[in-house]
Amino acid sequence: MTLHPKPADLFVDRHNGPDEAAIAQMLRTIGVDSVEQLIDETVPAAIRLQRPLNLPAALTERAFLAKFKQIAGQNKVYKNYIGLGYHDTALPAVIQRNILENPGWYTAYTPYQAEIAQGRLEALINYQTVVMDLTGMEIANASLLDEGTAAAEALHMFHSQTKKKNANKFFVSEQVLPQTIDVLRTRATPLGIELVVGDHRTIDIAMEGLFGAILQYPGADGEVFDYTDFISQAHQSGLFVVVAADLISLTLLTSPGEMGADACVGNSQRFGVPMGYGGPHAGFFATKDAFKRIIPGRIIGQSVDAAGNKAYRMALQTREQHIRREKATSNICTAQVLLSVLAGMYAVYHGPQRIKQFAVNIHAFTQILAQELGSLGIDQLNENYFDTLHLKLESPELRHALRKEAEDLGINFRYFDETSVGISLHQNTEAADVAEIVDLFARILGKETRTEALMPTDIELKWPASLIRQSSYLTHPIFNTHHSEHEMLRYMKHLENKDLSLAHSMIPLGSCTMKLNATAEMIPVTWPEIGSLHPFAPRDQAQGYTEIFHDLEKWLCEVTGFAAVSLQPNSGAQGEYAGLLVIRAYHEAHDQGHRNIALIPASAHGTNPASAVMAGMQVVVVKSTEEGNIDVADLKEKAAKYADNLSCLMVTYPSTHGVYEETIIDICQTIHEHGGRVYMDGANMNAQVGLTSPATIGADVCHLNLHKTFCIPHGGGGPGVGPIGVVSDLSSFLPGHAVVSADGRKAGAVSSAPWGSASILPISYAYISMMGGEGLKRATEIAILNANYIKAKLEEHYPVLYTGANGRCAHEMILDCRQFKKAGIEVEDIAKRLMDYGYHAPTVSFPVAGTLMVEPTESESKEELDRFCEAMISIRAEIREIEEGRADAKDNVLKHAPHTAAAVLIHNWDRPYSREQAVYPAEYTRAAKFWPSVSRIDSAYGDRNLICSCTSIEEYADQEEQLVPTDRGPSY
């Protein structure tokens, strides 16, 4: 017998769902002889790559983890006292293991289908309550991307609300974090808003043209100011005031709301989220109730279900891009849900007393450090401080000696200038750390050192009375119950059990690519070498990260065909915005700054027109044909009409309708002929990798959703990562950073951290490393195979709305459900009934109202695809019963869906269908039943009776509101 040794455990075989036997069966169902034939019939020959991807050979999971351990080991984990919005903290192990490392939490989708997302929604309402309580504001959203972008959203919100004529100036305190000022400047410029940076104590607040101001609390240098009088005077002058605040300091400091602030923004990183070399972290945004209709991002609110029970849902979605499109004034289409959940759980676990104790300890150690350094003759410049000392040294030579000695000891301070040093203490600071710092200063001063740990005893809070918080916070029982690990563990598990995730079944969302997030890809995320670095630490301490960035950028260039990549944008929508800024900057550099027209197809993602408006462009919509493709004649007519002012075309490829449009090269050439550039939305890159590329079709710039194509988990609606790739003549316009040199790039920052959400980039790095070029191509092929298999099985039951020239779909398809309206069945009824079958609905009513957009991804097995198809076919039979009069048009199994255990256990079952049909509609559900925790939620009630913090249903106030219903479109 001849034996044939070869690798026995390839990652690509773990990532892709169907094995070879299943593939053969699927091909027969589709009606083709091979995967190659299917691809030839699906992807136009004119755009096919002519060579394989030039990527390193695929590694096994074991080999990858060994190699990556060496790469991560190049990072130096120092003690960081840099501050500037990033601080060392401690994520409780019970939260790390059971949420951050738990696929039941990190693989869930945005909670548009609220009945199967009650756990995350409760966790998010906890987070909102934390933010509202500590900031003293009346309403908060469920997080934004980071502190800088939260501040920028406040700027835009208040610019839209000012009643002052021709007001286009915004005051920025020089004490605002430098990275926030950088992002503010980037976001203000396209809209013609002028930033006035200065000292809030001397600024003429009545200056003509001012509409608002932003202040830092405590300031970037560590000084704590009482802003009450400033805010009062600003209001007298018709200004809105934003305060950027440190959450943990607000347990001791008077809240911004009590000072009169109109909004409070910041970063919840200190609530247990690792620094991660800059992200991801949840930015927070809180404001007054008067602004609830215009607050950016998502808000979680309470409502009731069909049985009258309390239920949570996304509320007040008046700003979602899929509703307002080019009229939107925000391009927020993601929330940092997983990070918000971590921060909220940190507050639940520790409770108000322990969180306050953390703050007390931080301040006490800071006081002791100030006293000890003062006894050594070091001047401390901050009159009032919380955790940060601003120290003045005698000479640059002394500062140089301090830095060298500190870094030799593995310590990072902040160095303001040639003679100033900043030290920011944090939750993990202990007495020994304070003694170490004092000893260090003593040595460089040539003075006697002291080695004993300096434990604080009782200290006096030396702030003015107006700065000392008197109001209570986190009084709700949820923050005063789960303080033992056993109770916390059970609470988190209780919430997890309410949510459907990829751990349960396929989430077949078109456009959103809910693919496998392999365990091996996730493992490095919680390594200290990845999580414990400060983003502003010296670059030589982050050589591992530098290698990761370099390799990942190079690999993404190979996949896209582009010349350069920026990893800074920390969401897909942010990537869109960054890409448009690159195009804008290019035109301006070539004396073509008047080019401001963005052509956008009618079928485009809602973030496209919203991003264009944010980038200072005017949107012109291009029609679609009856087949769902871009109307080329209309595009050419408009490109010619606006040729003198044409900035760009924004196009998604394959199209949002799930089709490889044959005319794409002609479309791109038309734009170029009229002086414009082509921006490709990378939402559907999952159907391009290895087969075609943005550069091949003629695009100039695109963003890539790493939380889609490249396996970073959706995390219940975030984190997302949206790097952009560009052709060579655009590369010099990629975003830079005010604090850390981002490889010499000079453009303004779009995110707070220089490399965005750096700590989750290892996930995509792992995916590419273990797949290799051929593996990535195979994944694309299997994604197309899986989609066409579902199409073949369902098209006789549900019309498929759009297909390519040979009747094939790309990696997704649109099922037309509009004909069921005749029987009184809406697409929402199908979405809710799917929950009884154990499935999350496909994308509802996007991009076409009354339809379902299905994307299976390559990660689902034939068996799982068959179960989903069985569910859809069974639901079609249930609809047919209504159509034929065998089931009541209103009192039927679809209209009452989803069915909870409580609903079917009712003693007097009086519905015209059986309990068994309600909850066990398919045989497979008997073996693995997912129970929705609430019945269908009354969305209108939730908007009329808005409650967005932890409270009981009895406390609802009857506030009549008529608001836009929740958007169910895809999330970036």
DSSP label of 932? P
pLDDT of residue 961: 33
pLDDT of residue 323: 46
Length of the chain counted residue by residue = 972
Q: Residue holding tokens 């010349």?
A: 563
Say which amino acid occupies 464. P
Where the chain has pLDDT below 70, the residues are 316-333, 450-453, 742, 942, 944, 946, 949, 951-972
DSSP label of 771? H
Tokens of 607: 């973030």
CA separation for the pair 104, 522 (Å, rounded): 13
Q: What global pTM score does this model have?
A: 0.95
Residue 60 CB coordination number (10 Å): 16
pLDDT of residue 610: 84
The whole-angstrom distance between residue 183's C-alpha and the CA centroid of its chain comes to 17
Cβ-based burial of 616 (10 A; exposed 0-12, middle 13-18, buried ≥19): middle
pLDDT of residue 328: 55
pLDDT of residue 960: 37
CA angle 247, 252, 253 (to 5 degrees): 75
CA angle 151, 152, 153 (to 5 degrees): 90
First to last CA, the chain: 54
Cis peptide before 280 (omega within 30 of 0): yes
Cis peptide before 898 (omega within 30 of 0): yes
pLDDT of residue 713: 96
752-810 pLDDT per residue, tens:
999 999 999 999 999 999 999 999 999 999 999 999 999 999 999 999 999 998 999 99
Spatial contact of 36 and 678, defined as CB atoms under 8 Å apart? no
Q: What are phi and psi of 218, to 5 degrees?
A: -65, 165
Q: Report helix, strand or coil for 415.
A: strand
pLDDT of residue 64: 98
pLDDT of residue 889: 95
pLDDT of residue 949: 66
Residue 460 CB partners (closer than 8 Å, separation 6+): none
Residue 232, H or E segment? helix 228-236
Residue 295 CB partners (closer than 8 Å, separation 6+): 139, 141, 157, 285, 287, 316, 319
CA separation for the pair 115, 555 (Å, rounded): 40
Residue 404 CB partners (closer than 8 Å, separation 6+): none
Say which amino acid occupies 239. L
Spatial contact of 99 and 127, defined as CB atoms under 8 Å apart? no
Residue 487 CB partners (closer than 8 Å, separation 6+): 481
CA separation for the pair 744, 734 (Å, rounded): 10
Spatial contact of 240 and 161, defined as CB atoms under 8 Å apart? yes
Q: Report helix, strand or coil for 700.
A: coil
Spatial contact of 275 and 80, defined as CB atoms under 8 Å apart? yes
**Helix then strand then coil, % of the chain, to nearest 5:** 40, 15, 45
Signed CA dihedral, 573, 576, 582, 584: sign only: negative
pLDDT of residue 445: 94
